[in-house]
Chains A and B, each alone.
Chain A
Amino acid sequence: MYTQAIDTDPTLRTSAASDDGAAEDAFLARIADDEKIEPQDWMPEAYRKTLVRQISQHAHSEVVGMLPEGGWITRAPSLKRKEILLAKVQDEGGHGLYLYAAAETLGVSREQLIDALHSGKAKYSSIFNYETKTWADIGTIGWLVDGAAIMNQVPLCRCSYGPYARAMIRICKEESFHQRQGFDIVRALCEGTPEQKAMAQESLNRWWWPTLMMFGPHDSDSTHTGQASAYGIKRISNDELRQKFVDVTVAQAEFLGLSIPDPALRWNPARGHYDFGKIDWDEFWRVVNGQGPCNEARMNDRISAFEEGRWVRDAASAHAAKHAARAVARAGALEAA
């Protein structure tokens, strides 16, 4: 579901140094020609590392993102909503799976990536460190968070790495369903009882600013964007995407009869865009660095699911090994006979 702008880790703000200048020139020329890079192709180490980091961060975000919404499946207020939410959260697990598979084409294993998540070395989208306090949050997440994710992700369908670009095509189609179902939940609330409408407004008030933060730091503070652009991984800047999101969403909020919690929000005819207030980047960095409302709970949930599932995975491996050994023994016996 959710990518967060990739340039939040200063360790990756390094150049793509390579000993093989000619190979790198040829590689960059292919990118400039909009050719896809495939797993068996030569690639600079910095390109591989950037992709591993971005794809795995995206995969982790999908899997951790199952938690805030998953907690409402058992309490969904109608059977139709329950089924839709189940299908949505299941999609997120599926997205995690495609993305781990795409990352594995770059020479890392799913186990290594999960280990990096659990040790705190790898990040995931910080939006999932916020609480889902009400049912309206399920609608708001679909409408705003998935809406922001789509803005981030559609350009990735054209990214230079083939396995990632192809995974993103399918993911974006499903995200579009997720966004629509979220909007539909909020629409139903806004057309419902006064309590339901108030629930929708209160949820928007909490999620609006964290959603704007999902696009990452301002372009002026984002030194990694240049390299990701040169590699054909990042196609549109953080601020451009954020502006596009605000412009689209204001009209949707007006349609719903909801107020966006930003007194500075107003149409700027000279720019042809909405102006909006200042983002609290201190909050963003606090949550990215582990001090959000649910960082600890999310990691505890993931780690305990993984650890409590270890015996299940071990049993599957042990059984597969026994099964294979018996097949070999049977084949040997047949041959001897």
Chain B
Amino acid sequence: MSALPSQSLLLIADSCLVWGHRLSEWCGHGPQLEEDIALTNTALDVIGQARLLYQLYSSRAGNGLTEDKLAYFRGPDAFQNVAIAAVENGDYAQTVLRSLILSAWFVPLWRALAVGRDPELAAIAVEAEKAARVQRRHASDWTIRFGDGTAESRRRIEHAISTLAPWVPALLATEIDGTDRAHRENEWRAFVAEVMAEATLAAFPVNANGDHHAFEANAKQALSALLHEMQSLAREHPEAVW
């Protein structure tokens, strides 16, 4: 067995948890009941993946760590998530677009890990890839509807693109041991290009322009607020079992 380095495990797990948290914020507030249920489903998928990865990490670390200690008792500086996962939801267009960006990133990542050298992780990745494909389909369908829907929906999806695009270069540059980063990036670019074309939108602007320090500071601030809420009750009762 050749285990994936623990930092990569944490990066994937934290990204799943943080994204799942954002999706769960929609629960009960979706634009229609079917969408409420769909977003909850994605949240359940990715939080479930985070749990499996934390459990794997903990079993390998072997120092009394648990999934809940990892999720609830680390601060924002210790979280390894890709920054875009923590960005606030914004409107439904921004939520859907973030799902497209992340699921299109996760599909090739899980596929690579599913055939990788770490069999325990591969077992998780096989199922996770199937879920990510469903998420990617759902997010693509809505991106297309928004681009090729009404003037209002087009305005909103274009605004979402300009809001989220600055986080994409760092996402695509993220190295995960045991996977071919360039290959994953190519698949992401090809998939997103196809969706943008069908949505009658301009090509997705992947470029490294902009004030990266400002983006990083914003992302950290959003993550801090998210963790403050998520961890509040658990930290109030550190000895409790729930």
Question: Do these two chains really belong together in a complex?
Answer: yes
Q: Which residues of A contact B (CB under 8 A)?
A: 63, 66-67, 70, 73-83, 86-87, 89-90, 93-94, 96-97, 100, 135, 185, 188-189, 191-193, 195-196, 301, 304-305, 308-316, 318-319, 322
Rounded to whole Å, the gap between the CB of A61 and the closest CB of chain B is: 13
The reply to whether B37 and A90 contact each other, CB–CB distance below 8 Å, is: yes
Q: Residues of A contacting B40 with CB < 8 Å?
A: 86-87, 89-90, 93
B77 CB-CB contact with A under 8 Å: no
Q: Are A322 and B27 in contact (CB under 8 A)?
A: no
A304 CA to B91 CA, complexed, in Å: 13
B29 and A305: CB pair below 8 A? Answer: yes
The answer to whether A90 and B44 have CB atoms under 8 Å apart is yes
- The answer to whether A87 and B234 have CB atoms under 8 Å apart is no
How distant is B49 from chain A, measured CB to nearest CB, in Å?
11
Give the contact stretch, choosing among B98-106, B144-152, B167-175.
B144-152
- Contact A309 B237, beta carbon cutoff 8 Å: no
- The main secondary structure of chain A at its interface with chain B is helix
Return A55 CB to nearest CB of chain B, in Å. Answer: 15
The answer for the CA separation of A86 and B36 in the assembled complex, in Å, is: 11
Whole-angstrom CA separation of A29 from B32 in the bound complex: 40
6 A-B contacts, Cβ less than 8 Å apart? Answer: A74-B24, A82-B24, A309-B32, A312-B92, A314-B152, A315-B150
Interface size class of B (residues with CB under 8 A): 35 or more
| Cβ of B28 under 8 Å from chain A | yes
User: Please, which residue of chain B has its CB at the minimum distance from the CB of A97?
Assistant: B33
Q: Find out whether the CB atom of B27 lies under 8 angstroms from the CB atom of A86.
A: yes
Q: How far is the CA of A23 from the CA of B237 in the complex (A)?
A: 65
Contact at B240–A192, with CB atoms within 8 Å? yes
Taking CB atoms, residues of chain A closer than 8 Å to B33 are: 63, 93, 96-97, 100
Q: Give the number of A-B contacts (CB < 8 Å).
A: 140
B153 x A305 contact (CB < 8 A): no
The answer to whether B242 and A188 touch across the interface, beta carbons within 8 angstroms, is yes
Check if A86 sits within 8 Å of B28, measured CB to CB. Answer: no
Q: Does B232 contact A (CB under 8 A)?
A: yes
Mask of B41-61 contacts with A, CB within 8 angstroms, 1/0 = 101100110110010000000
Contact of B120 with A by CB under 8 A: no
Contact A94 B241 (CB under 8 A): no
Q: Which residues of B contact A93 (CB under 8 A)?
A: 28, 33, 36-37, 40
Q: How distant is the Cα of A135 from the Cα of B242 in the complex, in angstroms? A: 10
| A313–B29 touching, CB < 8 Å | no
Residue of B nearest to A134 (CB): B233
Docked CA distance A86–B241 (Å): 19
| Cβ of B68 under 8 Å from chain A | yes
Q: Is the CB of A316 within 8 A of B28?
A: no
Q: When the two chains form the complex, which single residue of A192, A304, A310, A311 contacts B156, counting CB atoms closer than 8 Å?
A: A311
In chain B, residues 82-114, which have Cβ atoms closer than 8 Å to a Cβ of chain A?
A: 91-92
> Is the Cβ of B30 less than 8 Å from the Cβ of A89?
no
